[in-house]
Amino acid sequence: MIEVVLNDRLGKKVRVKCNDDDTIGDLKKLVAAQTGTRADKIRIQKWYNVYKDHITLKDYEIHDGMGLELYYS
Amino acid sequence: MANRTDPAAKSIHGTNPQNLVEKILRSKIYQNTYWKEQCFGLTAETLVDKAMELDHLGGTYGGSRKPTPFMCLILKMLQIQPDKEIVVEFIKNDEYKYVRVLGAFYMRLTGSVTDVYRYLEPLYNDYRKLRLKLSEGKFCLTHVDEVIDELLTKDYSCDIALPRVQKRWTLEACGLLEPRRSALEDDFEEEEEKEEEEQAMDSVEDDTHEKNYYRGRSPIRERDRDRRRDRQYRDRDYERDYGRGRERDRDRDRDRDRERDRDKDRDRDRDRERDRHRLRDDRDYGRERERERDREGRERERRDRERGRRRSRSRSRSRDRRDRDHEDGDHRKRRTRGSVSPRRRPEDDGSTRDEPKKKKEKKEKKSDGTDHPDPEIAEANRLRASLGLKPLK
């Protein structure tokens, strides 16, 4: 179980607990549940790499405590 | 400048009509080439021409969330705000299905609740196919009535958040709308008549069967019961036309009597006695007497059992329906096999039905992880379960 921090630099900073074999799509659902936006409006990035929905966190090498950028589409 | 709303336009749902489409999506549409080229300086008339050229529905697609022309036209309509008559014309037009859906969507966004139901529900009868663009960019098949259903029941469609509408039954309760008449209701009535004909042979057992139908007291059942009663009164006209006559009158009288004296067992029994006597007069006397004796014994047992069951069990809707279905099965089986002992079957089913349910509930709890000692993790697991994800490791 890892904990990921997502920050949209506009005031929304969210800590989400998830498994490392969850996909980015699942992570978006969890974030949507916590922030109240819709899951399909969320975009998760790291610098200019937009993370794709079907790849797991483990494959993206997202570890415990790592920060990701939260954008909206 | 071209993106500003018409200054003469009214505000919708308390805001600038273009704000019904959220900010990010709106900016995407303004930057879209279709909007810049085709939607510049459109009026209500020229909008119709553009709408006729539409060939697919959809929200945004692709990695960069590109909007479809359908969305651009919706935003254009919000910007120029055509009159209600024009929108109703869009909906009523039969030839161009995409124009229809465009009008329906606009009505759903901007119309009052009664208007929404009144104009969109007739479109349930339109079964034509539509092309829907998914968010991956691929097309998929859908139908007009599916789209309308989505508009009326969900609160998000084509990447636009739809304004809230009240549920239909609330409006019916307020008297703003009439109860829904489905186009399939006539078909259902015919089917029901056929069923009643078949069961007219065993109309005494039919008694208790229909009685279970009417016994429910929950408000939802009340509404259904009212609807069924209305349908019965409508049946009367059908029956007069088909001339099915006396039997049907008797059924109807029996139903009416039953509904009136619903709570009194004795009255119901009296009715049944009366009807049984009447039946005996009409039918073949010898055959009837043989079956009567078996049936009476069974009836009495079943009546006692039901009374006991009614008092002891709490009434949940699904279980009632299951009871009813089981009784249906019992009726049919008993008709063919006359000598099966009736007491055993329903009780058996009752006990066995409860056990598998309990076992399933226990299993679900364990695999969910929602009973984890740490409350935070339990909470997280509960959320994950509601989203359809496996619990945390």
CB contact under 8 A, B392 and A29: no
Quick check: is B61 in a domain?
yes
Quick check: is B82 in a domain?
yes
Residues of B in contact with A1 (CB under 8 A): 392-393
Q: Using one digit for the tens of pLDDT, what is the confidence trace for B349-372?
A: 444 455 555 554 444 444 667 778
Quick check: is B147 in a domain?
yes
ipTM of this complex prediction, to 2 decimal places: 0.81
pLDDT, residue B101, reads 93
pLDDT, residue B324, reads 47
Radius of gyration of chain B (CA): 29
CB contact under 8 A, A19 and B393: yes
Residues of A in contact with B377 (CB under 8 A): 17
Question: Which residue in chain A has the smallest CA separation from B66?
Answer: A73
Quick check: is B127 in a domain?
yes
Q: Using one digit for the tens of pLDDT, what is the confidence trace for B157-205?
A: 888 889 888 888 888 888 877 777 776 777 777 888 888 888 876 665 5
* Per-domain residue ranges of chain A: 2-72
CB contact under 8 A, A30 and B377: no
Quick check: is B393 in a domain?
yes
Average pLDDT estimate for B136-159: 90
The residue out of B151, B181, B211 marking a domain boundary is B181
The structural domain count of chain B equals 2
CATH topology of domain A2-72: Ubiquitin-like (UB roll) (3.10.20)
In angstroms, the separation between the Cα of residue B54 and the nearest Cα of chain A is: 25
Quick check: is B247 in a domain?
no
CB contact under 8 A, A1 and B393: yes
Q: What is the crossing angle of helices B265-282 and B246-260, to 10°?
A: 170
Quick check: is B186 in a domain?
no
**In terms of residue numbers, what domain contains B125?**
17-181
